[in-house]
Structure 1
Amino acid sequence: MTGWPDSRTAGRRYVTVNVLFWLPLGLTIAPLILLFTERGMAMAAIAGFFAAHSLTTAALELPTGGLSDVLGRRVVLAAAGLLNLAALTLLGLSGTPLLLGLGMALLGAGRALSSGPAEAWYVDTVQAHHGPGAELRRGLARGSSATSAALATGTLLGGALPWVLGLGPDLGAWLREATSGLVLPLSVPLLLGAAVDIVLVVYALTALPEPPRPTATLREVLRGIPATVSGGLRLGGRDALVRRILLTAGATGSALAAIELLTPGRAAALTGASESGAVLFAALACAGFVCAGVGSHLAPRLARLAGGGERAVLVSLGTGAGGLLLLGATAAFTGVGSLVLAAGGYGLVYLGLGAAGPNKNDLLHRRVASSGRATALSVQSLALQLVAALTGLIVGILPPGPLPWLLGGAALSAGALLWVHRSGPTARTPLAAAQPRAVSGSELREL
């Protein structure tokens, strides 16, 4: 355990890394589409930029997922920070479709690299001190809460900065003239995010110690990618609980796609203008992240009250599904009462998903060994993204009204039903004979 920080220090560093990674992305939520529009991009081009992001993330999720299992957690996390730094710089300063599309693709690559190394480092560190039965849920909950807080803060800051800069026309004009039109008020949040990514890279390389790993050449790493992809895709075939976790990730992706695609239009319809609707959406997004953070904070307590992690996931997903169904039921109404119910439903979705995440990942980490941990997290992320993309396509062709909302609610309800029946001993059973056997990285490569 030489060089490993103690569990409390590891928890603080895990929280810090989550804040440093997600704060820059939160800063882009409010201004990004408006920045594309101000750069003269048509809606078709903007849709293409987001498609480049999604397709790059999905394509690289599994090939890069096992890299931190081979190369080390901090190196891969630093690489993700460097990709995000380059992406946000391009998006903040570029005005051509090619460079903007490249920026979105780089952002997708950074997202793929980031799905696992920080959490895997934290779990590795805690288990190095306390063994495979170490308490993980509390630390995972704090990390998830920190992510939500960073996104909420970034959303508010990213919406407020351009507005403040735009209050003085002389200031906005000076900014354009001083940078020959490269920097607009809407660019500032993205460039601030790029600066935070520099801090992330330095922090990841200096504050996340880990034991030395066997030396691997680039050729060996690339040669192992097909086996990693194949093993990752078949991960759930050997363990019923892991399979349920992956299916639940897909249901979560469907719910998130529905609420993220439909909320902006509903906000604009409520306010009567796209500009004011964007402000309302930023406020709603911030409130959603706050609710997710509260849910994550309550996750360990919910597990104790529910009698275990599996039951806590069931209750959490059921709560989120109820929120989406409430949004669907109020979609055709505009009265004050229906608006209050819709706002409550929106909060319930994020509260439920926030509470489900730490409990679900606690179960996953007890099924998968350290050598395959980041790969398993990447498979989970891939399941979420693929189902989210499919749901987005379906939502796009459905008529407006309750039906698109109910689609997401039905998917999340199906995910909750997966947890109605328990499958044998829980992963927290202290007896070694009852502990589920972890799936190792070598077994993933043999699949």
Structure 2
Amino acid sequence: MTAQQAHRRFLTLIALRWLPVGLMIPVIVLLPLERGLTLAQYGSAAALQGLTVLLLELPTGGLSDALGRRPVLLMAGAVDIAALTLLTVADSVALFVVFYVLQGVYRALDSGPLEAWYVDHALAADGKADIETGLSRSGAVLGVAIAAGALITGGLVALGPVGPITALSLPVYVALTLQIVSMVAVATLMTEERRGRGLAALAASVRGVPAAVGGALRLLRRSRVIVALVAVEVFWGFGMVTFESLTPVRLADVLGDPTEASALMGPVGSAAWLASAAGAALIPLLARRIGAPWTGFTLRILQGLTVVGMAVFAGPVGVVAAFLICYTVHGAASPVHNGLLHRQVDGPYRASLLSLNSMVGQPAGALGLVVLTAVATHVNLVAALLLGAAVLAVAAPLYLVGRRAAPDTVATAPQEVVPAP
């Protein structure tokens, strides 16, 4: 497979993976509230997703390095189908708890294998492949896919209920269907050399997981740049709650009508992810001019300021404008962060390192959900947004840790062989 073929397949699978997410984003907070949960109950249940990822992220990343990217992504798709099926009927705190635990398993399995598959194939075909541009384009495709999903959800909610299915529940059924399509696409397009067959091969791959996990942890210990990047993810994960989860609540607050806010979040969410796509597409121009570390620093400060804008603007126009700028910055920041991370590793533990990065972000997001929803409940929503903004901005100096490192300096993985089937 050529680098160009890997790139095209990667972008196709990215689009199919994130389209169902776009459908869910406008309703994922308001749906539990419609079904009887309080905001604090939602936050506590959703936090279990991050805690589940914390437990499973590194082992599943190691499984991807040992067993293969494709089988792990197929397992992830099956778990997400089960979770979305449950969400169609969830109407209690207990059922939402199970849903978010399943989502945590899905996110742990899904985190890293596809991106690692692309980088592995691109660099194998061409050692000088421009993976940063590929990652930026994937960010643009991701944004467009989520925008399309959010726009569809806005239309579905505006059309109202269909029989016994409420307006807020209808996007869940569509997302479930699209997740099945995505799983079929992974099985069809994502090719890799098989590492063995049967139970003996599986057992050998499982035995390789501890070595993969240990390799990623040793990379962390050996590189202060990786430590800094992982620390950024902690602050980022906490602060993302402000614009990922609290924006619909903020709109409902300024509009005085949760249903109107839900309908508005469809087109607004769509526009936000188009803005994210634009940010991801344009950011290589800035990164080439001032360097990736300073670009990351600037984006973290700017994103904190946009969340402040969401908090202090009193009308829906101001809140929406700040939200759109926030997502432009968010889309630009992701390829910069991931490109810096990929350039720090040269060895067999790429997916494990990505999982390590994601692992710290998920529980940080869980903590953010608990803390910020509690602040919103017991103080006010504006205070919660301002706290999240401060946490986003405080991570900015961490990007400058590696500014003196040579561009091609990487932490080479320890020369251990993962047991092959």
TM > 0.5: yes
Return 397-406 or 270-279, whichever deviates more: 397-406
Task: State the one-letter code of the partner of 1:406.
Answer: L
CA distance in 1, matches of 2:243, 2:29: 17
Match for 2:23 among 27, 31, 34? 27
Contact 1:371 1:441 in 2 (8 A): no
The alignment partner of 2:399 has SS state of coil
Deviation for aligned residue 1:304? 1.6
Figure out how many residues of one structure are paired with residues of the other and give that number: 414
Residue 184 of structure 2 is matched in structure 1 by 202
Match for 2:260 among 276, 280, 292? 276
Task: State the one-letter code of the partner of 2:307.
Answer: L
Give the TM-score taking structure 2 as reference length: 0.87
RMSD of aligned alpha carbons: 2.9
Residue 424 of structure 1 is matched in structure 2 by 404
| Residue 10 to residue 340, structure 1, CA distance change in 2 (3 Å) | same
Q: Deviations over 1:298-323 (max 9, x none)?
A: 122221222x2222222322321232
| Residue 98 to residue 422, structure 1, CA distance change in 2 (3 Å) | closer
CA distance in 1, matches of 2:217, 2:255: 44
Contact 1:270 1:277 in 2 (8 A): no
CA distance in 1, matches of 2:122, 2:38: 49
Matched, 1:114 2:110: yes
Larger Rg: 1
Task: State the one-letter code of the partner of 2:234.
Answer: G
Match for 2:140 among 145, 156, 178? 145
Q: Deviations over 1:391-424 (max 9, x none)?
A: 3333234332654333222222222112345443
| Residue 101 to residue 118, structure 1, CA distance change in 2 (3 Å) | same
| Residue 83 to residue 299, structure 1, CA distance change in 2 (3 Å) | same
Contact 1:78 1:200 in 2 (8 A): no
Deviation for aligned residue 1:122? 0.8
| Residue 162 to residue 441, structure 1, CA distance change in 2 (3 Å) | farther
Matched, 1:287 2:271: yes
Matched, 1:413 2:403: no
The alignment partner of 2:130 has SS state of coil
Consecutive unaligned residues in structure 1, runs of 5 or more: 167-171, 177-182, 430-434
Match for 1:384 among 356, 361, 365? 361
Matched, 1:161 2:161: no
Residue 172 of structure 2 is matched in structure 1 by 190
Residue 105 of structure 1 is matched in structure 2 by 101
CA distance in 2, matches of 1:410, 1:35: 29
Task: State the one-letter code of the partner of 1:204.
Answer: V
Q: Deviations over 1:141-180 (max 9, x none)?
A: 11111112222221221232243253xxxxx3xx33xxxx
Task: State the one-letter code of the partner of 1:50.
Answer: A
Task: State the one-letter code of the partner of 2:84.
Answer: L
Residue 432 of structure 1 is matched in structure 2 by none
Task: State the one-letter code of the partner of 1:438.
Answer: T
Matched, 1:439 2:419: no
Contact 2:229 2:398 in 1 (8 A): no
The 5 Å alignment of 1:174-253 reads 175-176=163-164, 183-213=165-195, 217-226=201-210, 228-229=212-213, 231-233=215-217, 235-253=219-237
Task: State the one-letter code of the partner of 1:320.
Answer: Q
Match for 2:287 among 292, 295, 303? 303
Contact 2:40 2:373 in 1 (8 A): no
Give the TM-score taking structure 1 as reference length: 0.82
Which of structures 1 and 2 has the larger relative contact order (alpha carbons within 8 angstroms, sep 6+)? 2
